[in-house]
């Protein structure tokens, strides 16, 4: 009965239009009242939820990504990717995916990836003869790489939701191979579709121009080196690397590229703070929601229920995947990570799944929700950038969605994809 009160009140509040963050906070208060827990304890849980040093990584990474996105970095990364693969038949679709790989390693945000890369690539692909819906589908699906490739904001949130027991550095490193696998799979499918539909073939860029483009993009690509190199070498922590990335991004944007005006900086900071305030409120109220769930022993009850249905880890993982895929279509990624991690991580651990591996499974699962209606945030952004009705984009996305499901199965049932690199580097 206790679980029904907590979860039932949460879903009722969602159905009547309450924002997810406030629905979690109010449901926590209702649950605390039901089990006779002092409301002071809920307030303490809310405060403790955001009183963590590791959380500083999120605002710094968001700010670094915003600076680079608005300072001309996306355009230069697209040009660099075009040098590498633009001359192949269907090469602009590969340029799109590769640019998302590079930009995702800087921004850590799928929405920022779609908005920045899409603004450059969708008009360019249409101009060269690609269907607008295909160009949008490539942009939207390719942006999921930003969820996996470090520095992923969602990996930091997952670590927090796991009680800080999962290393952020391990999650960052674990996301490299799954992210590259995702990009490679989409690239192969784009090549196949390009040959089948006879999409245009690009031109080889002259050597002198190619060298100039590479040098121009190198300054921005150094951001990836700073983030990953610093963490892997142990010179600084993920949080410290985020702050250094902000300084580097600001230096490159304002003094090297000089495409951004100084007077626009306050507006950039305002947008960043506005985004972060939403995230921090969500994290704070999710902490109180998780606190009440733990007192009600909901994670333990769900673990017992799932292991009663089957003791086969593959079957249980399939059920977890199906649950997350469905929920991902109904809610945004960050709140789902905060809600589901305390519930499903104990289940995964009980059947022998490593927490880092489970984090990658969750990232891909919920990432698919970002491009799935009716609440696909990245899908909405892509459709808005392309100026297409969402239904047309969804139709074009179907083959890409099938490819992403294959990647999900590989990451779910081949743990080495997530665990080999962290084991090699960190141990």
3-state secondary structure 2-48: HHHHHHHHHHHHHHCCCCHHHHHHHHHHHHHHHCCCCHHHHHHHHHH
Indicate the number of domains in the chain: 1
Nearest residue to 323 (alpha-carbon basis) of 307, 343, 308, 304 = 343
Strand partners, 89: 201
For residue 119, what are its two tokens?
């603004």
Q: Is 110 exposed, middle or buried (0-12, 13-18, 19+ CB in 10 A)?
A: buried
How many angstroms separate the Cα of 178 from the Cα of each of 133, 146, 170, 263, 346?
A: 26, 11, 13, 40, 23
Query: Per residue in 289-310, is it b (16+ CB within 10 Å) or e — as a string?
Result: bbbbbebbebbeebbeebeeee
Q: Are 54 and 151 in contact (CB under 8 A)?
A: no
pLDDT value for 11: 84
Rounded distance between C-alpha atoms, residue 239 and residue 55, angstroms: 8
Q: How far apart are the first and last CA of the chain?
A: 45
Q: How far is CA 120 from the centre of its chain?
A: 21
- Interacting residues of 147 by C-beta distance below 8 A, sequence separation 6+: 104, 110, 154, 175, 179, 333, 363, 364, 366, 367, 370
Q: Are 313 and 352 in contact (CB under 8 A)?
A: yes
Rounded distance between C-alpha atoms, residue 124 and residue 347, angstroms: 46
Rounded distance between C-alpha atoms, residue 223 and residue 377, angstroms: 26
pLDDT value for 370: 85
Q: Are 366 and 328 in contact (CB under 8 A)?
A: yes
For residue 87, what are its two tokens?
């001359």
151 prior amide bond cis, ω within 30: yes
For residue 302, what are its two tokens?
């769900």
Q: How confident is the chain (427 residues) per 10-residue block, as mean pLDDT?
A: 81 84 87 86 85 77 77 76 78 85 78 80 85 91 88 86 85 91 92 86 80 83 77 76 83 81 80 79 83 80 78 89 84 83 89 93 90 79 85 89 93 94 83
Rounded distance between C-alpha atoms, residue 268 and residue 245, angstroms: 16
3-state DSSP assignment of residue 220: helix
Rounded distance between C-alpha atoms, residue 232 and residue 226, angstroms: 10
Phi, psi of 201 (to 5 degrees): -105, 135
Range of the domain at 279: 2-426
Q: Dihedral sign for Cα 228, 229, 233, 234, please.
A: negative
pTM exceeding 0.75 = yes
Q: How many CA atoms are closer than 13 Å to the CA of 405, on its beta-carbon side?
A: 12
């Amino acid at each position: 009965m206790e679980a029904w009160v907590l979860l039932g009140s949460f879903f009722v509040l969602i159905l009547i239009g309450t924002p997810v963050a406030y629905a979690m906070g109010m449901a926590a208060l209702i649950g605390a009242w039901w089990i006779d827990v002092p409301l002071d304890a809920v307030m303490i849980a809310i405060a403790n939820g955001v009183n963590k040093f590791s959380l500083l990584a999120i605002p710094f990474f968001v700010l670094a990504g915003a600076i680079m996105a608005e300072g001309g970095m996306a355009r230069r990364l697209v040009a660099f990717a075009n040098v590498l693969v633009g001359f192949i038949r269907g090469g602009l679709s590969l340029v799109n995916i590769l640019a998302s790989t590079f930009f995702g390693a800087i921004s850590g945000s799928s929405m920022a990836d779609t908005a920045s890369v899409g603004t450059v690539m969708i008009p360019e692909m249409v101009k060269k003869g690609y269907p607008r819906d295909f160009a949008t589908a490539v942009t939207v699906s390719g942006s999921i790489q930003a969820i996996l490739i470090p520095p992923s904001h969602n990996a930091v949130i997952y670590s927090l939701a796991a009680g800080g027991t999962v290393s952020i550095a391990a999650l960052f490193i674990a996301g490299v191979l799954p992210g590259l696998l995702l990009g490679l799979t989409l690239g192969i499918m784009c090549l196949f579709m390009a040959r089948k539909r006879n999409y245009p073939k690009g031109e080889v860029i002259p050597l002198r121009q190619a060298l100039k483009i590479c040098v121009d993009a190198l300054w921005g690509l150094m951001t990836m080196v700073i983030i990953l190199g610093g963490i892997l070498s142990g010179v600084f922590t993920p949080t410290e690397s985020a702050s250094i990335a902000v300084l580097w991004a600001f230096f490159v944007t304002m003094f090297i590229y000089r495409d951004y005006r100084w007077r626009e900086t306050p507006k950039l900071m305002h947008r960043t703070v506005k985004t972060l305030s939403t995230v921090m409120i969500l994290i704070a109220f999710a902490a109180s929601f998780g606190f009440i769930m733990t007192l009600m022993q909901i994670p333990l009850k769900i673990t017992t229920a799932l292991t009663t249905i089957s003791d086969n880890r593959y079957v249980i993982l399939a059920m977890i995947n199906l649950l997350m895929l469905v929920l991902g279509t109904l809610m945004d990624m960050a709140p789902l990570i905060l809600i589901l991690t305390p519930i499903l991580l104990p289940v995964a651990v009980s059947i022998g799944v490593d927490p880092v591996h489970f984090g990658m499974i969750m990232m891909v699962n919920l990432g698919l929700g970002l491009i799935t209606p009716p609440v696909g945030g990245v899908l909405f952004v892509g459709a808005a950038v392309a100026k297409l009705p969402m239904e047309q984009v969804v139709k074009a996305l179907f083959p890409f969605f099938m490819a992403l499901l294959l990647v999900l199965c590989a990451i779910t049932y081949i743990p080495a994809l997530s665990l080999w690199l962290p084991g090699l580097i960190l141990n």
